Amino acid sequence: MQRLFKHHETYVFIIIIVFSIVITAVNRNFLTLENFFDIAKSYSFIGIFAVGVTFVLISGGIDISFTAVATVAEYVMAVYIIKFGGNIITASIIVIIVGITLGMINALLIYFFKIPTIITTIATLNIYYGLLIVISGGKWIYSLPQWFRDFATINLFTVSKAGGSSYGLSIITTLWIVLIFLSWLILKYTRLGRGIYAMGGNMNSAKRIGFNIFGIQMFVYSFMGVMAGLAGLVQALLVQTVAPNSIVGKELDVIAAVVLGGASLLGGRGTLLGTVLGVALIAIMGNGLTLMRVSSYWYNIFIGLIIIISVSFSAYQQRKKQKRTINVHAQ
Amino acid sequence: MNGKNSELIILSVVMGFIFVLMSLLIPGQFLRIENLQSMAFQLPELGLLSLAMMITMLTGGIDLSIIATANLTGIVTALILKNSVLAGTEATVPGAIILLAVVTGLFTALIIGLINGLLVAVVNVSPILATLGTMTLVKGLAIVITKGYVISGLPNVIRFIGNGVIAGIPVGAILFTLCALLMSLILNRTPFGFSVYMLGSNPTATYYSGINNKLVLIKTYLISSLYAGFAALIMISRFNSAKAGYGESYLLVTILVSVLGGTSATGGFGKVSGLVLALIILQFVSSGLNLLRISSFLTITIWGLIIIFVMIVNYLGSKYRKRGVV
């Protein structure tokens, strides 16, 4: 029991439970399977981004460009399937290829020229996004093929409601769950995964032990690119329109969710469980405020307060651990 | 050759190159007084916000809340002004009320700066997270206060700050010059400025040299917010209104401007002069492309390319110098 309270995840989980009780007390509709499936589906887009961001943060870097990567991948995919047709496999392959390519460009700049990751990715965010708008003219795409529309409505299983309508576990949510599981396997059970933690903990030590830093960095940013591409695909599936300006600007929201889950910006720390809980916390807050009929104007205030309290609390925990050594670090 | 000066030389060369290129590409238009003047109108708000970002980066931190702070400051100032403006008498607001509005606005900014400073220095939260939290919170406050609407109809005097001209020079540009000089003085000529640089390079050594790290950090975030507040005055004046979401795209650009100007992302190094050169470069590019009627989105692409180019040149330069020493 005591060991449980050493983990950041436990506290996030407790906060989620407390919120859920409060929300349910006000509105019974919160604690239903239907609402749960609904939240999971609409937040799978943020959730897939968050998986990629977790990898980057654990490796000791940060990526800001993923929203632009997602937008470019989504746009290229939409143009291709409208012009040449195809199916969901073609669409997935396209977003993955675009994601890997743009992610690799980030990794190459970071590795060969030692540009700080935040600077590299802010610069490439502007480059990718600017080029996309210039080339596409900023046009929105509405006329997505019928099969693309149909795919988004597939449910893995369906539950019928008394009123005749039904709900179920969406294929989009399933994709998110599968991605979380695969990423968890990579992080926990492969040498590559341990290398990501090692590199984030201390780059020089990782190098001396014999980890291939170049390979790990290429993997981390390409992986972020793939997740960004897939998140772009999911966004297109969810809203069935491709608007070049709909994703860029959400970078910091996603990073906030991951950080709430306990990933450290200094690298070396973070788990996928934490990330899922962080996304869940943000999702439940958004959904809960609506269900409690609190005006959406208050959303940012609540999220801001949660972030401040949560990061202050974990900074306090951290300091308690280091009490024996004199802590004079500025950050 | 001194490493820091070589960065300024590279920036000056890039600036000269772009200036000549634009003058040749757009003969007769780029060099006209009107264009130079309009550039001087556009530069100050981004400039002040970049200075706000830069001082936190010098300590090895970052301030993501500057745009939200600027907007809340603008909203508070605009609300006080608007409530004191009687219908039809827009032009005549007593100076005392304007002063009250501006001071209250800046006071709001300082409170946010104090919260940031306390979170970073006392609670030990990493700056990016602390200011991400206050950014969201402050933006939320701004939305709740305005209910998402635009506050417009400000007195003429306010419009003068962003749109007025003294002896052919825009008032905003004069204000920016004064603020930049003040920042330069603070950083280079005061013990506080010295400890900002020291803290950025090595907090432990700074602590053991008898400097109160916490106080330095709190002051840094106070100054950062105050500069965001100055930017707010120019913003409400130029937009002639205040709103929760103005200028959000500036946030990442201010980091680019600081870094392009030679501010190290890990702290300890950076000069106001470099930042001003970087600002002028970006302004030349955007005004030039605008005159050429090229999409403003190509401008942000080119900004991205310029920063990567400068970072690569700096990296290769420092590698070459190191080899020379060995």
Q: CA-based angle B49:B243:B291, to the nearest 5? A: 60
The secondary structure of A193-233, three-state, reads: HHHHHHHHHCHHHHHHHCCCHHHHHHHHHHHHHHHHHHHHH
| pLDDT at residue B147 is higher than 90 | no
Residues B20-48 pLDDT 10s: 888 888 777 777 777 777 787 788 889 99
**What token pair was written down for B178?**
């004064």
| Residues on chain B touching A266 (C-beta within 8 angstroms) | 126
Q: Do B301 and A138 touch (CB under 8 A)?
A: no
| pLDDT at residue A35 is higher than 90 | no
Fold for the domain defined by B3-325: ABC transporter involved in vitamin B12 uptake, BtuC (1.10.3470)
Distance from C-alpha of B268 to C-alpha of B147, rounded to nearest angstrom:
41
Q: Is the dihedral of CA B158, B163, B168, B169 positive or negative?
A: positive
| Residues on chain A touching B139 (C-beta within 8 angstroms) | 300, 304
| Residues on chain A touching B129 (C-beta within 8 angstroms) | 259, 265, 307, 311
| Residues on chain A touching B207 (C-beta within 8 angstroms) | 328
| Residues on chain B touching A256 (C-beta within 8 angstroms) | 132, 136
Distance from C-alpha of B149 to C-alpha of B139, rounded to nearest angstrom:
13
Give Cα B94 to chain centroid, integer Å.
Answer: 30
Quick one: pLDDT at residue A324? 46
Closest chain A residue to B250 measured between Cα atoms? Answer: A249
Of A124, A133, A315, the CB nearest to B125: A315
Domain holding A165: CATH number? 1.10.3470
Q: Do A303 and B298 touch (CB under 8 A)?
A: no
Domain-embedded: residue A323 = no
Of A119, A300, A329, the CB nearest to B307: A119
| pLDDT at residue A201 is higher than 50 | yes
Nearest CA-CA distance, residue B252 and chain A, Å: 7
Of A64, A120, A331, the CB nearest to B127: A331
Quick one: pLDDT at residue A1? 57
Query: Quick one: angle between helices A251-260 and A299-321, nearest 10?
Result: 40
Distance from C-alpha of A16 to C-alpha of A13, rounded to nearest angstrom:
5
| pLDDT at residue A108 is higher than 60 | yes
Residues A51-74 pLDDT 10s: 999 999 999 999 999 999 999 999
Of B203, B304, B312, the CB nearest to A113: B312
| pLDDT at residue A5 is higher than 70 | no
Quick one: pLDDT at residue B154? 77
**What token pair was written down for A54?**
């977790």
Q: What is the mean pLDDT of chain A?
A: 87
| pLDDT at residue B9 is higher than 70 | yes
Nearest CA-CA distance, residue B166 and chain A, Å: 36
Lowest mean pLDDT among A15-24, B155-164, B231-240, B291-300: B155-164
Closest chain A residue to B264 measured between Cα atoms? Answer: A116
Range of the domain at A182: 4-318
Which of B136, B139, B293 should be substituted to probe chain A, the one whose Cβ sees the most A Cβ atoms within 10 Å?
A: B136
Closest chain B residue to A119 measured between Cα atoms? Answer: B256
Amino acid code (one letter) for A225? G
**What phi-psi label fits residue B168: left (phi over 0), alpha (psi between -120 and 50 degrees) or beta?**
left
Give A25-94 as a DSSP string: HH-GGGGSHHHHHHHHHHTHHHHHHHHHHHHHHHTT----THHHHHHHHHHHHHHHHHHH---HHHHHHH
| Residues on chain B touching A329 (C-beta within 8 angstroms) | 124, 203-204
Lowest mean pLDDT among A213-222, A268-277, B24-33: B24-33
Closest chain A residue to B200 measured between Cα atoms? Answer: A330
| Section A217-242 average pLDDT | 93
Q: Do A119 and B255 touch (CB under 8 A)?
A: yes
Greater model confidence, A96 or B287:
A96
Question: What Å distances lie between residue B275 and A287, B47, B184, B254, B259, CA to CA?
Answer: 43, 8, 11, 10, 8
| pLDDT at residue B307 is higher than 80 | yes
Q: Do B297 and A134 touch (CB under 8 A)?
A: yes
| ipTM of this complex prediction, to 2 decimal places | 0.83
Greater model confidence, A113 or A154:
A113
Amino acid code (one letter) for B144? V
| Residues on chain B touching A317 (C-beta within 8 angstroms) | none
Quick one: pLDDT at residue A323? 62
Q: Which residue has the tokens 């050759």?
A: B1
Give the contacts of A206 (CB within 8 A, at least 6 positions apart): A195, A198, A199, A213, A216
- Reported as a pLDDT band with limits 50, 70 and 90, residue B2 is very low
Give B201-254 as a DSSP string: H-HHHHHHTT--HHHHHHHHHHHHHHHHHHHHHHHHHHHTEE-TTTTTTHHHHH
Closest chain B residue to A64 measured between Cα atoms? Answer: B252
Domain-embedded: residue A326 = no
Distance from C-alpha of B58 to C-alpha of B271, rounded to nearest angstrom:
9
Quick one: pLDDT at residue B86? 57
| Residues on chain B touching A311 (C-beta within 8 angstroms) | 119, 125-126, 129-130, 133
Q: Do A300 and B136 touch (CB under 8 A)?
A: yes
Domain-embedded: residue A285 = yes
Residues B276-285 pLDDT 10s: 999 998 888 8
- Reported as a pLDDT band with limits 50, 70 and 90, residue A223 is very high
| Residues on chain A touching B136 (C-beta within 8 angstroms) | 256, 300, 303-304, 307
Q: Do A330 and B308 touch (CB under 8 A)?
A: no
| Section B82-102 average pLDDT | 71
Nearest CA-CA distance, residue B96 and chain A, Å: 33
Q: Do A307 and B124 touch (CB under 8 A)?
A: no
Q: Specify the number of domains making up chain A.
A: 1
Domain-embedded: residue A231 = yes
Give A239-292 as a DSSP string: HS-B-TTSSTT-HHHHHHHHHHTT--TTSS---HHHHHHHHHHHHHHHHHHHHT
- Reported as a pLDDT band with limits 50, 70 and 90, residue A155 is confident
Q: Do B60 and A328 touch (CB under 8 A)?
A: no
Q: Do the beta carbons of residue B165 and residue A295 sit within 8 Å?
A: no
